[in-house]
Amino acid sequence: MLKEFRAFLLRGNVIDLAVAVVIGVAFGAVVTAFIKDLVTPLIAAIFGKPDFSTIYFTVNGSKFLIGDFINVLIAFVLIAAVIFFLVVKPVNALIARSRKDAPADTKTCPECLSLIPAEARRCAHCGEVVASA
């Protein structure tokens, strides 16, 4: 059982996931610091508050920290935007580029699956004899 557990832990995808989580947490900390140290003072300067994160209201002795919530919301939106523009869009573009349909004047070699001219009788990549179209 320990050998199976060790094999599970040492799989590439488990290690990749662990690295991704650690990098994600570190990136989240950077964005949180950016919001707290740069964006919050800028917004606070616009609204005239010395510290934006101290905006709150009280109901029956309970504090509702609106400023802190806004900080977290801004951090979430920035993280989502970075992931969308730096990860999702480029990956979608690469996938779309790789899925282009074959031109009409080509066919696929049955042996090596390379695109060859439709009139070819032999594959230029692997030398396989190909039936004419």
- The pLDDT tens digits of the residues spanning 17-39 come to 888 899 889 988 888 888 778 87
Residues 66, 51: Cα–Cα separation, whole Å: 12
- Within 13 A of 13's CA, how many CA atoms are on the CB side? 1
pLDDT of residue 15: 76
CATH 1.10.1200.120 residue ranges of the chain are: 2-100
Q: What pTM, to 2 d.p., does this model score? A: 0.51
Cα-Cα-Cα-Cα dihedral sign, residues 32, 34, 38, 39: negative
Q: Residue 98, Cα to own-chain centre: how many angstroms?
A: 18
How high is the mean pLDDT of the chain?
81
pLDDT of residue 74: 81
Q: Is residue 100 within 8 Å of 106, Cβ to Cβ?
A: no
pLDDT digits 0-9 by tens, 46-72: 877 656 677 889 999 998 988 888 878
pLDDT above 60 (res 133): no
pLDDT digits 0-9 by tens, 84-116: 888 889 988 888 787 766 567 888 888 888 888
CATH node for 2-100 = 1.10.1200.120
109-119: burial string, b at 16+ Cβ within 10 Å, e else: beeeeeebeee
